[in-house]
Structure formats: structure tokens, C-alpha cells
Structure 1
Amino acid sequence: MTSSTTAHTQLLHSLFEAALDVAQPNRCVPRHMPSPVAGKTIVIGAGKASAAMAQSFEQNWKGELSGLVVTRYGYAVPCEQINIVEAAHPIPDENGLNAAQAMLDLVSNLTDQDQVVVLISGGGSALLPLPYEDMTLKEKQDVNNALLRCGANIVEINTVRRHLSKIKGGRLAAACYPAKVTTLLISDVPGDDLSAIASGPTIADSTTCLDALAILDKYQIAINDRIREQLLKGTYESIKPNDERLALATTKLIATPQMALEAAAKRAQELGINSLILGDSIEGEAKEVAKVMAGITRQVRTFGQPIKPPCLLLSGGETTVTLSGNGVGGRNVEFLLALAIQLQGQSGISAIACDTDGVDGAADIAGAIITEHSLNDADKKGLDANAFLMNNDAHTFFEKIGQSVVTGPTMTNVNDFRAIFIDTLPT
């Protein structure tokens, strides 16, 4: 690896660190603390960042607290007054189910003198599985697994989840009534759709049971006849806008994908490099998004349009992977491998693509980095990049060439982070 390539790799790591830093709960929670009330203050929440959010809230709160927060295994941090429970993600388990029921029980029978603070981040939907009585956890797991594998986007996935749950789609906030409810959100969804973040447990939902059924049918996901009948009848309907039980509920976005991209752009500017933010909510099949990004990159590299090198192309959002091979998927590494194949080792180009929660797909790996030498390095090891891509096995590919990015739990989650560095045009 040349000295310039090493410098580019270090730059990309630095940008990712800047994106993570701005979305850390200890930075964004204290600025949005609600005021004390005459009655009790109860803190509840779910998501990969929720335990760190709870810790920050507890450290900055003056007075008594109690509560319960559920996070992914490995993402717990110590709290003194708020109970932290770990559960499975992305496929829910019994721990999540029990925590969801305990959370509902905790906020029952409150008064208008009390308040509930709800700490929500990405991953909260899988961590709060509470199906209706006529649906088993196993059936919920099967539907969840099928949605993750079929190529459905996060809005579609969470539309279904909201309508198969007793706690999502505004139902958690409704259970808190008549207490005041303040929800602090770290967004991990394209466009910061509030109802899609963790399936909106405290957010009114405009979608319907029939919308959920249409998504299941679109992707040919099997459900049993009794669940289909309940969806058709609207038995599982979520809480709708203007419901009086949400009148005292307020919501604050405290960290977003756009904030992460802007933090990376600021870091680059400090280093004397211009950036172009292409969008914070880019969606689509990872391989197809890579083709578009490769086209833009070549235009910049060859013609200096729409920005002149040296420069960075920054983007966020959530692509999808339709699993057809035997690999574990991972939308960021699939995007990156497809990008490398499209660019074919074009000189002066490096890129990073990582999930800001530290987990890309089903692997405890944040993502990877490519340089102009990545495909050549793979060839020397006898690795066929196209074969790995076709098998949805990009994580293995990058592990074998030593270009995985492993962060461990990041304690935040503002969706995917992508940065493409394009060096100066050759003279």
C-alpha cells in the first residue's frame, strides 16, 4: 500500500469517526432534557443507542427516576436508576418480548402529574416484539426474517411491524395517557420518518392494516389465515393522528443522518478538502446504488463535475440487499464491493461504507474500505470479486483482503455512512 493510499484510508476513518461523534448520546441528549414535573418521571426506551441515551439522561437529571430500556446484546452500559435489558437484534427473542410487556406494565395507571421520557433509536423495533395473543413469537420471528431477506426497505418493514404489535404504532404513548410523554429520537431511517424509527411506538401512524397486508403479499411472505383475517378486519389497527391519547406527546429529533454527514464535511473542510453531500436518504438495491455512485465518481474524476478533485462525495440512507446467495449480506459491504467492481481499480479513488451502529447486516462488522488496489489485492489471493458479490458474501471478501472496518458497539445509530474520496486529476 502506497503512502498516499494510507493517507486516504486514514482520512476516510477520520470522517467516519466525526460522523459517529456528533451522534453520541452524551452530546445530544443533554440539550433536549424535559423539565421536571410534580409527579413521577419514568424513562423507557429501545434501540441500539438507548442504553447510552439512558445513561446520559440519568447523569444529567436532577431528581428521582425509574425506568426500563432495552438494547441489543453487547450495547448495555451501567445505569443506577434505569433498568437496562439486553435482547436480540435483528431477529427478536424472549428477552425483548418480556421487556416490551414489562415496559407497558410500567407506564400503566399513570396520572396527569407524571411524565414519561421515551428514548428511541434504530433497532428498537426488533427489540420490542409484542405480538397479539393470536400470534406466537416464532411467527413474528419468521415474518421478521422474511422481511429482512426479501429486499423490502425499512419503511415497508416497519409498516408491517407496526401492525403486528401491541406496543408499536403509537400504542406505547397511548398506554402512558394521561401522563406527559416526551420522546427523544436518534434517527436511522431515510427522510427521518418518525413513524418508521423503531416502528414509532409513540408516534401516530397513518398507514393501515391493509397497507401492511399489501406489503406482505408484494414480497410473497406467508402468514397464517387467522393473522390475515385480523389484518383484513383491521383488528390490529395502529393509533391514528388526532387520537386524544397522544395530545400530550411531543417528539424531538436529537441526532440524524444529515447531522452525521455535515460533521464529516466539516472535518474534511478542516483538512482543506471540499465535500459534496449527495443525500442523507438514498435508498435502493445496494448493487444498483453502487452503479450510480460509480458513474458520478467517474464524472468527477474525468471532468471535475459537479465538484473538482481533490474532493469527497458523502451520502447516507439505507440501501437494501435481496439475499439470493449463501452469504450474510450487509448492505454497506455489498455496496462497496459493487462499487469496486464498477470502478475497476481506477487510480486515486478510495471509499468507505459503514453502518453507524457498528453492525452491517447480520455481521458484527461496521463495513469496509476500498482503495484503487483492492481488486488487485483480491486477485493475488485468488479471490473472485464478482463471485463474492453474487453470493451476497462481501463481508468474507473484505475480511480476506484485510479491509473490514470493525468498531464494536458505537452506542449510536444514524443509518449508513458512505464517503468516496477522489484525488486530484492527473496532469
Structure 2
Amino acid sequence: MSTHAEGADAPAHTDDVARDALLVSLLARLDRQEARIGLLEAELAAARAAVVESAESVSGPSGTSRRRLILGAAGATAAAVAGSRALPAAADANVVETTQYGVYASPDNVATPLLPAAARVGVAGLADTSAPTPSDTTKAGVFGGSDKGHGVVGRSSAGLAGVLGSGTGAVIGVHGQSTTGVGVRAESASGAGVQATSTAGRAVVGVSTNDVGGEFSGKVGALLLSSAAVPPPQRGHAAVQGAIDVDTNGDLWYCVQGGSPSAWRKLAGPSTAGSFHPVTPGRVYDSRLVEPAGAVGPLASGQARTISVSGRRDLTTGVVDLVDFVPSGARAITANVGVVETVGSGFVAINPGGNAGIAAASINWFATGQILNNGQNLTLDANRQLTIVCGGGGSTHVIVDVTGYFL
């Protein structure tokens, strides 16, 4: 211990006390390490003696070959003894061991290892308790490095984690870092490559300084949203602006105003028409022409006729000159509906294909020989068809020109 003459400066005395405390701490750690080494040496000596005794009782190679056999067996036994120090005592046969680790790391000053009950560990790693940066490998409980292969590989065949990372508080359970390559990579033959769950926080966060925060691709779909909840406006809880969600009806929603209450807009869904696609106007039906077969001639009052609007037709023959003018999947069209060569007075109702009911008129005429037109939004069936119903006592030819569709 350092001593000082009476009247020495206070700062010098403080430095000596700090050095003494550090020395005591280092000596204590040295004592612990020497004790560990002593135990290992004793176990190693016992293992060597047991191997030599066993080898002498078995006939085999003599001279140098026998010595190599004995030393090799002793080395293997010593390695097994050293590795077994990380294993907890054998569990009772009636205890169900629910957790097994190939590698487990814990702070070196924790008296009781931070292991779950009934856990089994193949190799234990100890780390300093100070808080390093994620890239600081000098304080790592387990560190794997490789110039050409994998630094650390974790495998599991019993439904448990090959590599398990956990953190309590504002720490990182698993951290992957790379300058130009991949920080963390996950692969799966049939299950989930990455699976994340969270009780209160965000399960997955992707951030990029100069690029996209996340990139997804897939054969069936790039991104799958699923929900077991009612539409967001009906939930009554706080939301964050920019959130995207889907409800049990299959409707896709976007949050335009966060907070509680929040404001949402429905983007798409089974009951919506989708996005509007304007097109150069094209004729899809003219009852005055010879095509389409079976759907030509004037419509009389009480008559219903189902037509397809999928193909654009020639203005003089009615033959399709552009297939899928209205593409598959379209839910509705914008169209100009015309009546020509009218007789008497009447009206036409245009419904989705297969619906011959009359709930409203799409266009009316009130005299013979009129030519009238009306712009319409018309709903299609799944086959891109309309059903035209004539009523009111008169008859007329019908023309349908498409100006756009919803998909």
C-alpha cells in the first residue's frame, strides 16, 4: 500500500487510493482464475491417469504408438472435461428440459447464470458487463469470425432456435452489421425466413439512411397483409399517420391522420371498383350490326339481352378488332349509352351481367325516330358482361361506347 508524508497534496492521495482499489480488484480476479486453473489441472491429471490405467490393461500397439494412443485419448478426454464445465449438472429424469442452447453467453460477474430453468448449455461464453457499441467485439460473450466461411452457425432440429438472441430494456438481442454485404440473412425451405413478434413495440423496423427501408419480393405476392379486426375507423384506438392495414372484409386502408380518433381512407377492396383507367373511346356493342351473333336487332319492351364489353368492335361490321379492350378483372366501365331508331316511348336499364331487374333507367326516349345519348358508370359481372333491359312499351337499337374502366 502507498504511504504519504504528512501534508502531502490531496490529489496525489486520491490517485493512490484509486490505484490501490484497482490492484485489489485485479488480484481478486487473478485469484479466481488461478482457482479455475487449479480445478482444471486436477481434473486433467485424473483423466490422464484413468486413460493410462485403462490403456495398460488392453493389449495394443507398443512403444511410441501406444504412447501416442494414450496421449491422444488423454487429450480428447481433457477436452471433454473442459467443455463439460459449461454444462449444468445432469437433470433429474423426471424434469422436462424445455430449453437447450448450443452456445450461451452471460456477464462474467453474475453469480447466478442468466439461464432459464432446466436449461442445458453446450458451451458457455462470458462477457464484460460494461455496455459496448454493437460493433465492439472485445466484450462479446461469443464471437465468431471467418475469412471465407460462416463465423457462427446455429442449427436446431427440435423446433427450438438454432441461434437465440434476447435483450432486456434498450439493448439489442441480435445485431448484424456489414459495410457492403448482408448484416443478417435468414433462409427457410418451407417456413418463415424471419419471424418477429412484439407485445407492445414494433416487431420489425427497417431504416435506411440513403436507400429504401425494406424490399420485398415473392412469387405469390411481394407483401401479405392479414388482419382479424374490423375496419380501422370502427376500432376506436389511436393510430399513426402512414399506417396501412387490411380488415376482415379484405379492404385495404391508409391512415391519413394519426391520433385518437384517427382518419382513414379505403384504398381498395372486394366491393370497390379499383383505379380508373381512361382509354381512347371504343365501341363495344351496336345492335344494328351483324355481330355479336345472337345479340343483334332492336330491343322490344320487356326484353333483356346480355352482352360482353371485353372487346372493341369494328364500327361497320361489329367484329372484334381489339381483344381485352376492357381487361380481365375490370369491375366497372365509364360509357356513353345511345338509343337510335326509337319507336314510341320507353327506357333502357343496364345492369351487371345476369341481372334482368329494373331499379332505374339508364336512358329514356319519348318519341319515334330519336337519337339520344347518356354518359354512364356501369357495373360489370365477373365475365365483363352487361344485361340490357328494355321497358316502357317502345323499342330501340342500343349502342355502347367505352371511355374507361375501373381495375
Normalised to the residue count of structure 1, the TM-score between the two structures is 0.20
Answer 1 or 2: higher relative contact order, Cα 8 Å, separation at least 6.
1
Larger radius of gyration: 2
Structure showing the higher strand proportion among its residues:
2
Structure showing the higher helix proportion among its residues:
1
Normalised to the residue count of structure 2, the TM-score between the two structures is 0.20
